[in-house]
Amino acid sequence: MAIRIAVTGAQGQVVTSLLERASSTAEIVALGRPKLDLMDRDSVLSALRDSRCDAIVGAAAYTAVDKSEQEPEIAMRVNGAGAGFVAEAAAELGVPLVHISTDYVFDGTAARPYREDDPTAPLGVYGASKLEGETRVLAACPGATILRTAWVYSPFGANFVRTMLRLGETREEVGVVADQLGNPTSALDIADATLAVVTRLAQDADPALRGVFHMTGSGEASWADVAEAIFARAAEHGRAPVRVRRITTADYPTPAKRPANSRLDNSKLARLHGVALPDWRASLAACVDRLLAAAPPRGA
Ligand SMILES: NC(=O)C1=CN([C@@H]2O[C@H](COP(=O)(O)OP(=O)(O)OC[C@H]3O[C@@H](n4cnc5c(N)ncnc54)[C@H](OP(=O)(O)O)[C@@H]3O)[C@@H](O)[C@H]2O)C=CC1
Ligand SMILES: Cc1cn([C@H]2C[C@H](O)[C@@H](COP(=O)(O)OP(=O)(O)O[C@H]3O[C@@H](C)C(=O)[C@@H](O)[C@H]3O)O2)c(=O)[nH]c1=O
């Protein structure tokens, strides 16, 4: 019988990807606002109780990194307290919980990819609110599994790939920071991996499968590398060439500080869950192909 997985959020990149990748072995029940509002504890508990789920994936979040600097209370309520309400429901229902978190819990000063037990020190409100969420999730549901991912893109919603393709429609050159390193990750790959993890958790009570794990696309990049790969692939689709000017973080001031190095070490997930995500370049090319196949060039 298919495992019934309740997911928080209805239209986010990861939720949409889970809906697309769900197979005959997994049924996704996507719970978004107004039925489930992370700012409203009662709605979270009642939506999850009503879902008759076998497992929960906490994917909804306040993800506007810069805007969160102006709206710290909302970010904290959604990503901190809200994540805790979801964990409370998982504990009450006695079902496995996978909670999605972020590389932005780190300050980026390490000279190597971060491991799960490295000290956290978020630079901005978004990262701090997601860290608060991790703490609350583990307090309310000690058997939860937290998957920290990073730099998520997909054919859906708002993300860096879609921003670059949009800018490339009207510009010959785009300045992109080359001194922030991370792991670009396809939401569709996150969906495949999350389904594997959650299905295993529903069958296996091993405590080693619980706790914090890093889960990103394989391989590392700067944002400028990602932009170059996007425009190179777009050119293969006949799009006008776009140059990437490799700039520094100081050249591109933003309200929120971002980590210079937020590469994550995924070896714990591979060792204990047997899960590894594909190389970011292959998944990024597939995403660009899909977006451009759906949208003919301007003026065509
Ligand atoms: N995007 C990224 O680069 C990264 C994301 N993550 C994490 O991965 C997870 C999924 O991210 P992603 O799919 O990209 O997110 P998106 O920004 O694409 O979607 C976020 C979803 O959360 C929902 N949401 C926001 N506020 C609330 C609320 N108060 N109650 C209920 N739902 C709410 C939104 O609903 P609505 O559609 O109604 O606005 C939206 O559907 C998040 O936990 C995020 O922190 C981790 C690393 C990188
Ligand atoms: C649009 C643009 C951005 N940039 C820079 C700004 C920033 O340093 C970097 C990425 O910009 P974005 O605002 O798209 O990405 P950002 O919102 O920082 O993405 C983050 O989102 C949250 C939700 C996460 O959890 C993180 O893992 C990460 O993916 O690129 C440029 O240099 N040039 C540009 O034209």
Are 244 and 174 a contacting pair, CB within 8 Å? yes
Q: What is the pLDDT of residue 25?
A: 85
The CATH number of domain 3-158+184-218+263-278, selected from 3.30.70.3460, 3.40.50.300, 3.30.230.10, 3.40.50.720 = 3.40.50.720
Shortest CA distance to 115 belongs to which of 141, 148, 81?
148
Q: CA 105 from chain center: how many Å?
A: 13
Phi, psi of 6 (to 5 degrees): -85, 130
Per-residue pLDDT of the chain (300 residues; tens, 9 = 90+): 799 999 999 999 999 999 999 988 899 999 999 999 999 999 999 999 999 999 999 999 999 999 999 999 999 999 999 999 999 999 999 999 999 999 999 999 999 999 999 999 999 999 999 999 999 999 999 999 999 999 999 999 999 999 999 999 999 999 999 999 999 999 999 999 999 999 999 999 999 999 999 999 999 999 999 999 999 999 999 999 999 999 999 999 999 999 999 999 999 999 999 999 999 999 999 999 999 997 766 655
Q: What is the pLDDT of residue 100?
A: 98
In this predicted complex, what is the ipTM? Answer: 0.98
Residues in the chain: 300
Are 96 and 90 a contacting pair, CB within 8 Å? yes
Tokens for 32, please give them. Answer: 């978004």
Q: What is the pLDDT of residue 23?
A: 83
Using a 6 Å cutoff on CB, does residue 59 contact ligand 1? yes
Ligand found nearest the CA of 226: 2
Are 211 and 273 a contacting pair, CB within 8 Å? no
33 to each of 167, 186, 290, how far by Cα in Å? 31, 24, 28
Q: What is the pLDDT of residue 299?
A: 58
153 is an active site residue: no
Q: What is the pLDDT of residue 83?
A: 98
Best mutation site among 63, 77, 151, 163 for ligand 1 pocket (most ligand atoms within 8 Å of CB): 63
Which residues are CB-contacts of 281 (< 8 A; sequence separation ≥ 6)? 219, 229
Question: Which residues line ligand 2 at a C-beta cut-off of 6 Å?
Answer: 63, 65, 102-104, 150-152, 160, 163, 174-177, 180, 223, 252, 254, 258
Task: Specify burial of residue 109 (Cβ count, 10 A radius: 0-12, 13-18, 19+).
Answer: exposed
Q: What is the pLDDT of residue 296?
A: 67
In the block, residue with structure tokens 């990503």 = 79
Instruction: Name the residue at shortest CA distance from atom 38 of ligand 1.
Output: 33
Name the residue ranges covered by the structural domains of the chain. Answer: 3-158+184-218+263-278
Q: What is the pLDDT of residue 219?
A: 97
Q: CA 265 from chain center: how many Å?
A: 16
> What is the distance in A from the centroid of ligand 2 to the CA of 160?
6
Are 225 and 164 a contacting pair, CB within 8 Å? no
Which residues are CB-contacts of 296 (< 8 A; sequence separation ≥ 6)? none
